[in-house]
Structure 1
Amino acid sequence: MAIQENEVQRIIDAVGGKENISAATHCVTRLRLILKDEKEVKHDELNDISLVKGSFSVNGQFQVVIGQGTVDKVYDIFVKLTGVGEASKQDVKDLASEKMNILQRGVKNLADIFIPILPALVTAGLLMGINNILANPGIFYKPSFIEVHPGWTDFANMINLIANTAFTFLPALIGWSAVKKFGGSPILGIVLGLILVHPDLLNAYGLAEARTKGTVPVWHIFGLTIDKVGYQGQVLPVLVASYVIARIEIFLRKRVSDFIQLLVVGPVCLLVTGFLAFIVIGPVTMFIATGITNGVVGLFHVAPIIGGLVYGLCYAPLVITGMHHLFLAVDLQLIGSTGGTYLWPILALSNIAQGAAAFAIFVINRDKKVKGLAFTSSISAWLGVTEPALFGVNLRFRYPFIAAIIGSSVGGAILAVNHIRSSSIGVGGLPGFLSIFPKGWPVFFLGIAVSIVVPFALTFIFSRFKKKSRDKTVIKNEQFKA
């Protein structure tokens, strides 16, 4: 696709001109801009440009949705016309951080830690879904598929091993990403994570039973009695330990001679952080994590309809602010502690609902550009990527967004009342059923139907009211002129 310079110039003018641009970079689909004053953006002019599929501001960045395969060409021309030097994503993130409050920075740090490992977790979730299909009864036959066809047993076992690896060694993945984010050596983060799940430690999943029997193994060190317990599937212990090891490493590298750094920095970091992890960090963060887990599980048991309604209603607005990344950590904590999460299935319905509302705009709207964007973005949302539908269509017209969050709220309530959980994080759209425990599939499919029908119907209804309101305004204006 040939990109015209005048089209890119229109984007520059619409965001306030080159004088309003501090830095620019791009990702797979979007221009990511740091603007001096976002009030200078002319949103109507920007959304009227054929190259632009939508725009939004989040975490201090103003992002313009262009599309995969086109954004890099637009960015090259953008840099040429503005004279703004090419910046890395990290440069832009650092500049954006200066505009954030403490809570926003905390959420951003969580996002920066979990997003790099998300492909591994989603892949593991999909593979676990395949294993669920093969190993669970009542799907193809009354018994499981591998009971009827035992020749497939080892195949299913191998898939299960491959799928479970990312969750079994989750602390190592988090350690790598977190220590890298905090400014330390990623390899130390990997080793730290592996220390916390070492096979010599009592597996965290067997801790409750061991405590009941009084068989928890311990270390006796300098008068201290320390539980010899692992942290499989846990999030908070490795997050805090990763921050500690990164700070120790940064401190030592500034003070230890380069000549002996290899002999001093790594060993001291791992020894100090390892002892702190088992003596203080682990027990304290496990207490906090248990409280979070019990709180979420308790809500979905005591008042599931409220939990489902509220989370279904709030998830898409949280995406707009970037706050949804907080709940990825909660999902992983629930999966690690209880074997499943109530939250992720509702996330999948939220994505589907946004796609349904966007598809309704495709049916309703007569503008060819809007129809094309609405159709492609609805398909994208149904496959788990909601940005084009959310920012390019639904928020642009507003009433489809309202219809979508109502639909996902109703669908979320249905799932919560029936205690539908997923065994892993997967693709947050129609393929999401693969991550749901198979016995919950019928209810989940009902939730999908509700999350498609309700937003689609409400978008139609809201559009009629909007048209009638607009017609009344026109009539009043004509009467006033007369």
Structure 2
Amino acid sequence: MADSNIKSKYLPTVKEMITLIGGKENIQGAAHCATRLRLVLKDNSLADTKAIGELDHVKGSFVAGDQLQIIIGAGTVNDVYAVFTEEAGISGMSLGDVKEQSAQKQNAFQRGIKALSDVFVEIIPGLLAAALLMGVTGLLSQKGIFGPKSVVEMYPAIEGFNRFISIMSTGIFTILPLLVVYSATKRFGGNPVLGLVLGAIMLHPELANAYAVGNGTVKPEIISLFGLKVSLVAFQGGIIIALMMGFVIAKLDKFFSRKVPDMIKLFLAPFLTIVVSGFLLFSAVGPLGRLLSDGITNGLMWSVDNLGIVGFMLFAGVQQIIVITGLHHVIGAVEAQLIADTGSNFIMPLMSVALMGQGGAVLGYTLAMWKSEKARQIGVSAFGSTLFGISEPALFGVNVKYKFPLIMGSIGGAIGGAYVYLSGINALGFGATAIPGFAIIAAKDSGHLHYVAANLLALAVGAILTIIYLKVRKPNMD
């Protein structure tokens, strides 16, 4: 139960909020994160997001992931949530419960996109750690960053430390398919240990190394499986294949667990799952996945070679618009495959400048509307989030709401994308942008300096264009 002082402070806002979301009977569940109330409603169309955003203590509201998300602010959200659940007569739910509840209302395509996102969410911390280690060893080894000599050359005593860091930085990438198939199997409802077993098979040392086969230095062994010719090639870098196999293993595991009698299920069900999934790996899923992953990588590289600066500007200009639809989650799988195939990721800096363009737009809006306390509250919080790679408060709290900041932010992102192309910025990992993204930028050719410049450029363009628009056009901001 909420404290009496807290209740008296927030109850008027909460009562209005419940009315504006369609009443208590429209609420399916409620939870909160660090800054926002997250509500699952029976009918989102009954919620007046604009009116909710005008309430006291509220900094904006939007619907994303089939949840109504109401921006309150760090600390305050806990108190508002306590009053809200008491007034609405509902028991609190965990954030995971709310996500699961909202997922049930999504169509098959939306659920598929969310599933891809969930697979990579679990392994991104490891990838970020590895990319940060790569950044450290890059800074220590690269000449021209701190002078004509590298740090290791200037201080030979740290050569052993640098070598140690270098080994640690590449460890996760040698088993990345294994981690992906484990996470995917778990996400799709199968036994994740079976995913690990299949992942180990994908990287088995008796199989020909995929990279060696690709460059022609090794000729793979070919065997006959029931008359089908199968090349015994491992799946290093097979991220798309690992995703597909995680789904296959989960479905087979659930199927055999249902069909095999209980008396022999313990050993026969996993045996059949591994045998069948292993056969499908080498006979169907593997070849199909290789074609798909090659198509993705070749398509991206084709766009770089043929579209050049235009392609970079187009992607950086529209990427945050894709975020609005929720389809951006699939980009993580593409980035992982790109790193596996080429060793670097040019998409991440483009995503960062796209985000900073929108951050610049909300900054411009905030500065131009500084006399409005409501605009300051929303704008400062939303801009602060973009600095740490979170754009939704800026997008849904300001830019989408008023439309013109979204356009100005997209222009800022496009200009930043042009700088990324001209300077050749690359990342060593994915999953972080803006300030956190600095840690995973490749040090080669002053990559860190160019990364900062590209993001500041996108930020400045978005902010300046938004301020100019507000001063010249004087649009109605109600």
Please indicate, yes or no, whether the TM-score normalized by the shorter chain is above 0.5.
yes
1:229 aligns with 2:233: yes
Alpha-carbon offset, residue 146 of structure 1: 1.5
1:165 aligns with 2:171: yes
Q: What is the aligned partner in structure 2 of residue 312 from structure 1?
A: 316
Contact (CA 8 Å) 1:304, 1:413: kept in 2 or not?
no
Identify the match of residue 180 of structure 1 among 158, 162, 186.
Answer: 186
Q: What is the aligned partner in structure 2 of residue 8 from structure 1?
A: 14
Q: What is the aligned partner in structure 2 of residue 254 from structure 1?
A: 258
Contact (CA 8 Å) 1:217, 1:228: kept in 2 or not?
yes
Q: What is the aligned partner in structure 2 of residue 433 from structure 1?
A: 438
Residues 202 and 418 of structure 1, relative CA distance in 2, 3 Å threshold: farther
Identify the match of residue 146 of structure 2 among 124, 127, 140.
Answer: 140
Q: How does 1:100-119 map to 2 (within 5 A)?
A: 100-119=106-125
Task: Please give the alpha-carbon distance, in whole angstroms, between the structure 2 residues aligned to 1:261 and 1:73.
Answer: 50
Contact (CA 8 Å) 1:25, 1:87: kept in 2 or not?
yes
Task: Please give the alpha-carbon distance, in whole angstroms, between the structure 1 residues aligned to 2:209 and 2:159.
Answer: 26
Task: Please give the alpha-carbon distance, in whole angstroms, between the structure 2 residues aligned to 1:146 and 1:203.
Answer: 32
Residues 71 and 175 of structure 1, relative CA distance in 2, 3 Å threshold: farther
Residues 440 and 108 of structure 1, relative CA distance in 2, 3 Å threshold: same
Describe the SS at the equivalent of 1:353.
helix
**AA aligned opposite 1:185:** N
Residues 17 and 166 of structure 1, relative CA distance in 2, 3 Å threshold: farther
Identity over the aligned pairs, expressed in percent?
35
Alpha-carbon offset, residue 192 of structure 1: 2.2
1:368 aligns with 2:373: yes
Contact (CA 8 Å) 1:426, 1:435: kept in 2 or not?
no
**AA aligned opposite 2:31:** T
Task: Please give the alpha-carbon distance, in whole angstroms, between the structure 2 residues aligned to 1:397 and 1:30.
Answer: 21
1:388 aligns with 2:393: yes
Cα deviation, 1:126-173, whole Å, max 9, x if unaligned, reads 222222111222211223222322222222232233332333222222
Say which is worse superposed, 455-464 or 192-201, in terms of deviation: 192-201
Identify the match of residue 429 of structure 2 among 416, 424, 430.
Answer: 424
Say which is worse superposed, 281-290 or 442-451, in terms of deviation: 442-451
Q: What is the aligned partner in structure 2 of residue 479 from structure 1?
A: none
Describe the SS at the equivalent of 1:62.
strand
**AA aligned opposite 2:461:** V
Alpha-carbon offset, residue 417 of structure 1: 4.4
Describe the SS at the equivalent of 1:174.
helix
Alpha-carbon offset, residue 406 of structure 1: 0.8
Task: Please give the alpha-carbon distance, in whole angstroms, between the structure 2 residues aligned to 1:335 and 1:91.
Answer: 33
Alpha-carbon offset, residue 264 of structure 1: 1.5
Q: What is the aligned partner in structure 2 of residue 463 from structure 1?
A: 470
Alpha-carbon offset, residue 62 of structure 1: 1.8
Alpha-carbon offset, residue 236 of structure 1: 1.2
Describe the SS at the equivalent of 1:22.
strand
Residues 77 and 195 of structure 1, relative CA distance in 2, 3 Å threshold: farther
Say which is worse superposed, 322-331 or 352-361, in terms of deviation: 352-361
**AA aligned opposite 2:50:** D
Q: Given the two structures, how large is their TM-score scaled by the length of structure 2?
A: 0.90
Q: What is the aligned partner in structure 2 of residue 152 from structure 1?
A: 158
Runs of 4+ in 1 over 6 A off after TM superposition: none
Structure 2: stretches of 5+ with no match in the other structure? none
Cα deviation, 1:216-267, whole Å, max 9, x if unaligned, reads 3444544444322222232211111111111111111112233432211222
**AA aligned opposite 2:367:** V
Residues 298 and 70 of structure 1, relative CA distance in 2, 3 Å threshold: same
Q: How does 1:62-81 map to 2 (within 5 A)?
A: 62-81=68-87
Alpha-carbon offset, residue 414 of structure 1: 2.5
Residues 269 and 88 of structure 1, relative CA distance in 2, 3 Å threshold: farther
Contact (CA 8 Å) 1:136, 1:144: kept in 2 or not?
yes
Task: Please give the alpha-carbon distance, in whole angstroms, between the structure 1 residues aligned to 2:431 and 2:168.
Answer: 15
Q: What is the aligned partner in structure 2 of residue 358 from structure 1?
A: 362
Alpha-carbon offset, residue 322 of structure 1: 0.9
Contact (CA 8 Å) 1:308, 1:414: kept in 2 or not?
no
Identify the match of residue 447 of structure 1 among 454, 465, 469.
Answer: 454
Residues 72 and 203 of structure 1, relative CA distance in 2, 3 Å threshold: farther
Alpha-carbon offset, residue 105 of structure 1: 2.4
Cα deviation, 1:59-107, whole Å, max 9, x if unaligned, reads 3222222334443443333222222344454554444345433332221
Describe the SS at the equivalent of 1:134.
helix
Across the aligned residues of Structure 1 and Structure 2, the Cα RMSD in angstroms comes to 2.5
Contact (CA 8 Å) 1:176, 1:190: kept in 2 or not?
yes
**AA aligned opposite 2:313:** L
Structure 1: stretches of 5+ with no match in the other structure? 474-482
Contact (CA 8 Å) 2:434, 2:455: kept in 1 or not?
no
Contact (CA 8 Å) 1:218, 1:227: kept in 2 or not?
yes
Task: Please give the alpha-carbon distance, in whole angstroms, between the structure 1 residues aligned to 2:314 and 2:363.
Answer: 24
Residues 440 and 303 of structure 1, relative CA distance in 2, 3 Å threshold: farther
1:34 aligns with 2:40: yes
**AA aligned opposite 2:190:** G
Q: What is the aligned partner in structure 2 of residue 23 from structure 1?
A: 29
Task: Please give the alpha-carbon distance, in whole angstroms, between the structure 1 residues aligned to 2:102 and 2:259.
Answer: 31
Alpha-carbon offset, residue 199 of structure 1: 3.3
Residues 293 and 223 of structure 1, relative CA distance in 2, 3 Å threshold: same
Say which is worse superposed, 98-107 or 453-462, in terms of deviation: 98-107
Alpha-carbon offset, residue 318 of structure 1: 1.1
Residues 455 and 40 of structure 1, relative CA distance in 2, 3 Å threshold: same
Task: Please give the alpha-carbon distance, in whole angstroms, between the structure 1 residues aligned to 2:221 and 2:237.
Answer: 20
Task: Please give the alpha-carbon distance, in whole angstroms, between the structure 1 residues aligned to 2:152 and 2:16.
Answer: 60
1:274 aligns with 2:278: yes
Contact (CA 8 Å) 1:304, 1:417: kept in 2 or not?
no
Q: Given the two structures, how large is their TM-score scaled by the length of structure 1?
A: 0.89
**AA aligned opposite 1:458:** L
Alpha-carbon offset, residue 188 of structure 1: 1.7
